[in-house]
Amino acid sequence: MEKLQKALLAWYRENPRSLPWRGEKDPYRILVAEVLLQQTRTAQAIPYYHRFLARFPTLKALREASSEEVLRAWQGAGYYRRALHLHRLAQEVEALPRSHAELLKLPGLGPYTAAAVASLAFGERVAAVDGNVRRVLSRVFALENPAPRALWNLAQGLLPPGEAPGEWNQALMDLGATVCLPRRPLCPRCPIAPFCRGRVDPGRYPGGRKREVREEALAALVLWGREGVYLTRLEGRFAGLYGVPLFPQEELPWRVRGFGVDPRFAGEVRHALTHRRLRVAVYVASWDGEGMVPGEKPLPKLMEKVLRQAQAFLAHEGILPFPHAKTHGVKPLEPG
């Protein structure tokens, strides 16, 4: 055990990843990084990390912003509920609590994020087990589909005495991200290969059933007019953001009747979410209904794609496309 710990820490000290939040001690900045990394790949997260912190450098600045401003700063990073949770959290606490147990009570913080903040910012001896760490430990100890609690206990027992726990947590995460890769682990380069029981057949661990990716057929209705595009506030996973009406493909006839339009098919866009693949048929129609006022609104990436598709179609038809990022209606309007 001790040899494994020493080997991994020595490797980490020589090969740390250069990330903007490395060495950071400000708990708020660590929190923003960890929340972004929950669902966004590291390389993609970096520009959003800088943009969000430039706009909201402190918890206080975040507290004083409107949720729309917060969503706009998060725009493009996806999984917007994370940004709304951060915003709510800023309203609940003056400063981030120092312990894992207290951090866990805050909105949007699961065991991993709370442990990462507690160990990195406050030096608490608590193991942070994310997907990377789960994979590394499952392989090292040859565990097939280990239960989360059992894995956490194992990780907790592995924390080296006397070392900064944040450093150890990061060492394990880095090994998972750069060496013990999901598909092709680089075992010959691995500093803990001599201690790894799963090395003979790493693909077997952690195993477990993969969640199926479902395909969904949707339709989006782009109603455009002199003042812009009709947008409504979205619900569900895009709550707080804006978009054109989006619904299951089979609902198109009655949705169209509700608005009293005769739309044209403008092409299809595809969009991937964690466990769903969306195929969205884009329909366009000119419309002079109420509720289209100018003003920038935060849009999810899917809606940007839909509007770009509609714009391209209209431009091809010789119709002056609407400036999609500038003029959007905000008044929610239900069809029918």
Catalytic residues: 34
Looking up tokens 């001690």 gives 25
Give the list of residues 6+ apart from residue 109 with CB closer than 8 angstroms, or none: 85, 89, 103, 117
Looking up tokens 């119709």 gives 319
291, 329 contact by CB (below 8 A): yes
> Taking the CA of residue 172 as centre, how many other CA atoms within 13 Å lie in the half-sphere pointing to its CB?
27
Q: What is the binding site for ligand SF4 (CB under 6 A)? A: 136, 139-140, 179-180, 185-187, 190, 192-193, 196, 198-199, 202
Closest by CA position to 220, among listed 120, 145, 324: 324
Q: How far apart are CA 253 and CA 11, in angstroms?
A: 61
282 DSSP 8-state letter: E
Separation of CA 120 from chain center: 21
- The least CB distance from residue 175 to ligand SF4, in Å, is 7
State whether residue 252 is helix, strand or coil. helix
- The least CB distance from residue 178 to ligand SF4, in Å, is 10
- The least CB distance from residue 294 to ligand SF4, in Å, is 54
**Token pair of 110 as six digits:** 């699961």
Q: How far is CA 203 from CA 144, 148, 155, 181, 198, in A?
A: 10, 19, 21, 10, 9
The nearer residue to ligand SF4, 35 or 140, going by C-beta atoms, is 140
The nearer residue to ligand SF4, 184 or 209, going by C-beta atoms, is 184
The nearer residue to ligand SF4, 179 or 246, going by C-beta atoms, is 179
The nearer residue to ligand SF4, 139 or 297, going by C-beta atoms, is 139
What string of DSSP letters covers 33-60? HHHHHHHS-HHHHHHHHHHHHHH--SHH
The nearer residue to ligand SF4, 196 or 285, going by C-beta atoms, is 196
**Token pair of 21 as six digits:** 């939040």
- The least CB distance from residue 131 to ligand SF4, in Å, is 14
- The least CB distance from residue 61 to ligand SF4, in Å, is 41
- The least CB distance from residue 172 to ligand SF4, in Å, is 10
State whether residue 217 is helix, strand or coil. strand
The nearer residue to ligand SF4, 136 or 281, going by C-beta atoms, is 136
Looking up tokens 């944040």 gives 166
Q: How far apart are CA 105 and CA 86, in angstroms?
A: 13
